[in-house]
Structure 1
Amino acid sequence: MDYKNPSLPISKRVEDLLGRMTLEEKIGQLVQPFGWKMYSRKADGTVEVTEEFIQELAQGGLGSLYGTLRADPWTEVTLKTGLSPREGAAAVNTIQRYAMEHTRLGIPILFGEECSHGHMAIGATVFPVPLTVGSTWNTELYEKMCKAVAVETRAQGGTATYSPVLDVVRDPRWGRTEETYSEDAYLNGELAVAAVKGLQGDNIASEESLIATLKHFVGYGSSEGGRNGAPAHLGLRELHEVDLLPFKKAVEAGACSVMTAYNEIDGVPCTSSRYLLNDVLREKWGFDGFVITDCGAVNMLKDGHNTASSEAEAVAQSLQAGVDMEMSGVMFRAHMETAIQHSLISMDELDQAVSRMLEMKFRLGLFERPYADPDRAERVIGSEEHVRLARQVAAEGIVLLKNVQGTLPLDPQAISTVAVIGPNANAPYNQLGDYTSPQPPGQVVTVLEGIRRRMGRDESRVLYAPGCRIKGDSKDGFENALQCAAKADVVVMAIGGSSARDFGEGTIDLRTGASVVTGNDWSDMECGEGIDRATLTLMGVQLELVKEVHKLGKPVIVVYINGRPITEPWIDEHVEAILEAWYPGQEGGNAIADVLFGDVNPSGRLTLSIPKEVGQLPVYYNGRRTRGKRYLETDLAPRYPFGYGLSYTEFKYENLRVEPEMIHPDGEATVSVDITNIGSCDGTEVVQLYVSDLTASVTRPALTLKGFRKVPLNAGETQTVTFVVGPEHLQLIGMELESAVEPGEFRLMVGPNCTEGQTASLWVKERGDEA
């Protein structure tokens, strides 16, 4: 049997195996049922396969399993019923071994896992969410983080992850904003490349590598009204210039998998769009991996989008468009054979999809090394090295939005007492974000714990009161919060939002701050998948709490912990300092304390424009010049612009130069600027390059990000930062939807954000044109 011979080319092995397969076995390779339903845990921590799994195998085998080790309220896998890192690896081996020994051809299973910000399994490191990662503007650091995620996941037998999320956010009311990097396609593309390099490494067969799945393809972040899965109103030019760009960069970097989006574009669902999945992805870009649907997306073609009149037609529409595997597998398993019998799908079309899945399994090395190493899983998952990395990512992603008269950093020697107040001060799950597994007690460092550690663990110096919940109108905790604040020299208010699902942890007693388990637990979830909002203000009575504390006359520092921007003009205008931490992960409390006390000089920069009020939406920085003038009540400028963020020091930009000042369309120019740290402490600046095409055949954005560098500078130090500008940075999508660099003047700006910096001109001329 040639397919078992590792010395043969993969194409030969695929051909041999495909020729031996029955119709049922071929269909089986394209389905991905829920993995956590395929085993049951025994009292000793080992597992046995379920009858459901045995029946799935009997129907023709299984190509893949989804979320076998996923643990959360949706799967109903808890700390008590779930598996430790070592047990998880052993469980995957049990499932894999049964599949290979009890099927005719012994084809290994591909295990797909959720790893948006860490493997979604018990014991894995919970890193900050992608929105925090984006705010680091540090691709090298993110690549390290993705490598750590790959190491932990592969150690348990996972071979594919459903990340990175490359959606460009156009309306941050969308609940999945936290899963994305930014509102900018270029920044998303650079981070996408880092993710692919970190997750897949040099060889996906390595024990330190995972298949990266790019999602959601495409336009998912441009949904109508910020509602999850709503239509995306995109023209083809904007689609190619903006939403498709990060995916193109990641495909060029070698990404092995793509996931379709739920939404439609111009009336065509992404899951059945041959233009997107074949013409663009495969024909134009040369993608050679496999395409998987999001969960339930094929069902939506019949019941939702209503482009298919039957289940078999929905299956045919997706497969013929370019889908290779269905997450959940329900529609493919039940209706693929009917679609073939009625000639809705040809055997050649089916064989093409099956070949892609088999090829990926050979590339992963699963036929030769199908099993995980439980010893390695126990050693690397949640390691101290990864915890330190999580703290660094969180610290670099924190953005200092306001700092009046040097309120920060705090000096623990000069402060006798700190009051830590707010619903996010000591709520572990509130700082983790969606797609998070259950956490053992003490695993998550909260803001309260981080400050206590930094203040020397003398609890008399760190007072705590929750004050209120994220949602709800109860003010039962106000009195205790105000008493704590009155005793303190400075007040840190941890407020914002929550993507925490119900992990059975109970609720908080607002009067004492103690955790209380009742029969009627309170959910504070106001963000996350499927949790979209009509406004961006704080929920509940949080703003009232801040106002009451502010009346005491103490310095107030607001720490936002949240998954989308918050618009609260009163807070922007009245409190002394504001930190935006997004969801900073399990080490968030330590990272926030690092910044509050100056152990880390904040270097995070916004990747989303924060509006003054929700009525300004959409408010992304790189809109077309023709976007309009202003509203009657306000202008179009955001409260905090894209790229913005303060430091404890100050940086000066000087001597911007462009060499040469004139190039041909295929040429390059070097852009250099001198950056000096003119403050009294060391710091790190995010130097940003923006390009404006002053005259073009199609309307252009006022400016677009085309480069960035994160530069550490000692106090008094000067460095020259250099960018190379070429066709990639100057091109547009022209009248015929082809990329081109047009002659004319380009304005270059280098500065600390999208609204300020030094400018210079670069001219592009056609060859032979000396004008």
Structure 2
Amino acid sequence: MGLRARLAGASALALAVLAAGPAAAQAYRNPDLPVDQRAADLVRRMTITEKAAQMQNEAPGIERLGVLPYDYWNEALHGVARAGEATVFPQAIGMAATFDRDLFYAEGQVIATEGRAKYNQAQRDRNYGRYYGLTFWSPNINIFRDPRWGRGQETLGEDPYLTGTLATEFITGLQGDDPHYLKAIATPKHYAVHSGPEPLRHGFNVDPSERDLAETYLPAFRRTIVDGKAESLMCAYNAVFGTAACANSRLLQDILRKDWGFAGFVTSDCGAIDDITTGHHNTATNAEGAALAVKAGTDTGCDFKDEMLDLPEAVEEGYLSEADMDVALERLFAARIRLGMFDPPERVPFSTIPISENHSAAHQQLALRAARESIVLLKNDGLLPLDKTDTKIAVIGPSATSLIALEGNYNGTPTTPMRPLDAMETVFGADRVAYAQGAPFVAELPVAVPRTAFPGGLTANFYNSADFSGPVVATRTVKEIDTNWAGIDPAPGVDRKTFSVRWAGMIAVPAAGDYLFQLETRRGCDAGGSETYTIRIEGASDQAFSASCDERETKRAPMRVHFDDARPRAFTLELAHQSARAGDITFTWQAPVAALRDQAIAAAADADTIVAFVGLNAWLEGEEMPLEVPGFDGGDRTSIALPQAQRDLLDALEATGKPVVIVLQSGSAVALGENGRKASAILEAWYPGERGGQAIAEVLRGTVNPSGRLPVTFYASTDQLPPFTDYAMANRTYRYFDGKPEYAFGHGLSYTQFAYSDLKPDAASVVAGDGQTVRVTVRNTGARAGDEVAQLYLATPGRAGTPTRSLKGYERVHLAPGEAKTVQFTLAPRDLAFADAKGVMRTSAGNYQLWIGGGQPDTGAPGIGGSFRVTGDKALPN
């Protein structure tokens, strides 16, 4: 039985109605009283049935108390997600490649402003739905311990220090600095020891060593709670030491609340309460599972099966007390009070942020800055930058025009995305750029039909009806059918809920052969709606598809068309949509791979340089998806090599003898092997967000000097990795890996050169428990201005079990040619501590080795070494 049905008569959808009775008696509505007192007053007025309902993410209104409906579920991984138009920053892993604290703080501020703008407008519209609240389930700070994890793209990399410090800035920017009110609430996730495999996550148990737990898996969470003051936290799907993370008293009580002093609220991951019983078998019934979670410290559930509604039964059975529920509820309502939800709007400084602040020009410029800083120059034999004015360029590859390869996952809707090909034509001149798709991402799956297949483009006519009746309300000319209409009008004047669109033009295939066509529509069909489409290609039978949104998983057989030749044919695609929102719309094909490759070689014939846009996308790697093709499994990867179809494309391009620049777009490490060794230059561009194409073209042209650094190790092959299910840190990440990677954590080149000198620790010897300050001079010794990312690594040679080295400081510094600056690093006592075998963070006597440089020592990066001594021994508090 659903939430609303079970609560019929107990609560109703509420308007902004004050509870009956004198205001003086309603302490929870008095802004001058302490928050905890107000929350307790409100909770004591609720029935136990109402209390249970308020402990689900979709909390209904309580009209008699003036409590409006509220959904705690909102997303902001790299911009406000899933609520229509928003600024789309590079995917989180790309943001981490910036090594830029200030940028993360600014990103958090933008997200809070846009989130408030959307919330304020939603309240005016009485829209209390998911993705319009102020409790954002971000950032994802799990340690990216293995490049095969599909959700690793959502993280800030493999290093606890980098992850924790960047996430803390993001959280601080998002939550704001007002002394009385939170601008929004951040939710670090997924606590704890969580990083795949995706197909096993609902029943997987991890037994980490105490050293790995303290040294690797917990530090970023500790920093975001203790230093970042995050107001919320999400517990994970998996179990730790045999107990589900969302029912784990050691994690949620002993460590989180007692050791770290966390006073906020904990939400479960979606369905994780059910997993306590059905996945981990810690309890016999959902009522027991929900009770165990609440007593352990989980305050609200993201529930697909209304698990928290079983709490009254759990109280009746004696599994927990109503007082246990009250503790959780008081935390939840304290958060809503701090957000200003029970106070007059004039008291809340963020209540007047208008919707016009969403996706502002300034926010778009920040996304462009982020994309520029995120790009990592992995290799350059001197070919880049491509600053010769007469250079002819062949742009080849499936990601050159792919929208999903810009977006990543958990994203907002980019209304003006800059695809790489468009940016290359703008920056270099359309007359100097030739293009061909060259290959699909993987041979087994379709890819967007490229613009080369639509000579002259397509005309799209829109109607405000689901049957093409009435007048044409908008007309657009498009280059391809690969768009995202989630939460936006498909065109000005078009009703996003009920519309039809007809694309018409000519279609031309690269060579004779059999082709499979299909319209893929994702994330845009809600219960009760429907979608219909018809594909018409001259000389072939039409294909029509119609289904209700409740049947959206219905298998859609592709349209098979045999072409005897490559002459253009008339083409029409009609789509009728009736649903609360639209989503991703992509017209795809499975073309003969050899034909695509031959077309690419022909496009490169007159070029001086080939720029190959290859990699992955968020339909291949991501969260728990029904995908099994070679190299991929359920969202994860089984191989870190570039997919075979793209390797074959690179082989053919490199065989031409022309210089090849590889632009890699991915959410994780991709091993390029021989193709990388043959390439003249390699850029890692991640999933770079709405302005990513512009940033890539500017870096290739040289108007932007690349400055990103790898936040993960790029291993040479899958063979170098331990088993994916092994959570021991031995031989994982740069801190413990004993092999030779393709590219090291922290690596990144520039178009200029830097040198380091005058490394000076403040003290030659420090007492255990004290900190240390280190200074170094960084100089730009090249001819171009550029940003250097100075990285401080610390090592304790000879100490068993400690990392080979650990990042303990970083600073991005801009230098003109010949300019030098002194950079200061302040090492806190905890930065000098390492975990012992019992998991105690301890500073011990010995020699501490320092390295400060543009990357790790022994990788060819410029830098300088030094040392200092520590005397004594001191265990730090948990």
Q: TM-score range by the shorter chain?
A: 0.7 to 0.9
The within-5 A match list for 1:326-725 is 326-328=301-303, 330-369=305-344, 376-404=353-381, 406-415=382-391, 417-440=392-415, 443-456=416-429, 459-472=430-443, 474-500=593-619, 530-618=634-722, 636-696=739-799, 699-725=801-827
CA deviation after TM superposition for structure 1 residue 143, in Å? 0.9
The match for 1:52 is none
The match for 2:231 is 256
The 3-state SS of whatever aligns with 1:326 is coil
Residue 248 of structure 1 aligns with an amino acid whose one-letter code is R
Change (3 A) 1:536 1:479: same
The match for 1:9 is 34
The within-5 A match list for 1:215-364 is 215-221=189-195, 223=196, 228=201, 230-252=204-226, 253-328=228-303, 330-364=305-339
CA RMSD of aligned residues (A): 2.9
CA–CA distance in structure 1, aligned partners of residues 599 and 358 of structure 2? 40
CA deviation after TM superposition for structure 1 residue 334, in Å? 3.4
Q: Deviations over 1:262-307 (max 9, x none)?
A: 1122322211100000110001100010000000001111111111
Residue 76 of structure 2 aligns with an amino acid whose one-letter code is C
The worse-fitting range, judged by mean Cα deviation, of 169-178 and 466-475 is 466-475
CA–CA distance in structure 1, aligned partners of residues 278 and 746 of structure 2? 41
CA–CA distance in structure 2, aligned partners of residues 528 and 327 of structure 1? 28
Change (3 A) 1:635 1:351: closer
The 3-state SS of whatever aligns with 2:50 is helix
What is the number of residues matched between the two proteins?
Answer: 669
Residue 434 of structure 2 aligns with an amino acid whose one-letter code is L
Change (3 A) 1:529 1:432: farther
The worse-fitting range, judged by mean Cα deviation, of 145-154 and 229-238 is 229-238
The 3-state SS of whatever aligns with 1:340 is helix
Which structure shows the higher strand fraction?
Answer: 2
Q: Which of 864, 868, 873 is the matching residue for 1:758?
A: 864
Residue 80 of structure 2 aligns with an amino acid whose one-letter code is H
Change (3 A) 1:480 1:695: closer
CA deviation after TM superposition for structure 1 residue 14, in Å? 2.0
CA deviation after TM superposition for structure 1 residue 751, in Å? 1.6
CA deviation after TM superposition for structure 1 residue 333, in Å? 4.0
CA–CA distance in structure 2, aligned partners of residues 498 and 106 of structure 1? 42
C-alpha contact (below 8 Å) 2:442/2:643 kept by paired residues: yes
Q: Which of 88, 91, 104 is the matching residue for 1:126?
A: 88
Change (3 A) 1:154 1:527: farther
The match for 2:70 is 109
User: Considering only CA atoms, is the larger Rg found in Structure 1 or Structure 2?
Assistant: 2
The TM-score, its normalising length taken from structure 2, stands at 0.72
The match for 1:50 is none
C-alpha contact (below 8 Å) 1:29/1:354 kept by paired residues: yes
The worse-fitting range, judged by mean Cα deviation, of 429-438 and 474-483 is 429-438
Residue 648 of structure 2 aligns with an amino acid whose one-letter code is E
CA–CA distance in structure 1, aligned partners of residues 55 and 719 of structure 2? 45
CA deviation after TM superposition for structure 1 residue 260, in Å? 0.5
Q: Deviations over 1:439-495 (max 9, x none)?
A: 55xx21111011111124xx3321111111101162221122111111211111110
CA–CA distance in structure 2, aligned partners of residues 179 and 391 of structure 1? 19
Residue 605 of structure 2 aligns with an amino acid whose one-letter code is A
CA–CA distance in structure 1, aligned partners of residues 41 and 632 of structure 2? 45
CA–CA distance in structure 1, aligned partners of residues 730 and 683 of structure 2? 33
CA–CA distance in structure 2, aligned partners of residues 401 and 538 of structure 1? 16
Residue 868 of structure 2 aligns with an amino acid whose one-letter code is L
Residue 588 of structure 1 aligns with an amino acid whose one-letter code is G
Residue 610 of structure 1 aligns with an amino acid whose one-letter code is F
CA deviation after TM superposition for structure 1 residue 624, in Å? 10
The 3-state SS of whatever aligns with 2:604 is helix
CA–CA distance in structure 2, aligned partners of residues 601 and 667 of structure 1? 39
Residue 793 of structure 2 aligns with an amino acid whose one-letter code is Y
Q: Deviations over 1:706-739 (max 9, x none)?
A: 0011111111112222222341221123355433
CA deviation after TM superposition for structure 1 residue 224, in Å? 6.0
The worse-fitting range, judged by mean Cα deviation, of 349-358 and 110-119 is 110-119
Change (3 A) 1:198 1:138: same
CA–CA distance in structure 1, aligned partners of residues 152 and 630 of structure 2? 12
Change (3 A) 1:358 1:660: same
The match for 1:210 is 184
CA deviation after TM superposition for structure 1 residue 202, in Å? 0.9
Q: Which of 16, 24, 46 is the matching residue for 1:21?
A: 46
CA–CA distance in structure 2, aligned partners of residues 375 and 245 of structure 1? 37
Change (3 A) 1:465 1:627: closer
C-alpha contact (below 8 Å) 2:104/2:167 kept by paired residues: no
Change (3 A) 1:331 1:378: closer
CA–CA distance in structure 1, aligned partners of residues 785 and 629 of structure 2? 39
C-alpha contact (below 8 Å) 1:498/1:526 kept by paired residues: no
CA–CA distance in structure 1, aligned partners of residues 93 and 729 of structure 2? 27
Q: Deviations over 1:223-271 (max 9, x none)?
A: 4699656443411221122111111111112100000011122322211
Residue 19 of structure 1 aligns with an amino acid whose one-letter code is R
CA–CA distance in structure 2, aligned partners of residues 572 and 115 of structure 1? 34
Change (3 A) 1:657 1:380: same
Change (3 A) 1:552 1:369: farther
C-alpha contact (below 8 Å) 2:631/2:643 kept by paired residues: no
Structure 2: runs of 5+ lacking an equivalent = 1-25, 120-132, 445-592, 874-878
Residue 761 of structure 1 aligns with an amino acid whose one-letter code is S
The match for 1:38 is none
CA–CA distance in structure 2, aligned partners of residues 190 and 374 of structure 1? 30
Change (3 A) 1:595 1:676: same
The worse-fitting range, judged by mean Cα deviation, of 476-485 and 659-668 is 659-668
CA–CA distance in structure 1, aligned partners of residues 244 and 165 of structure 2? 27
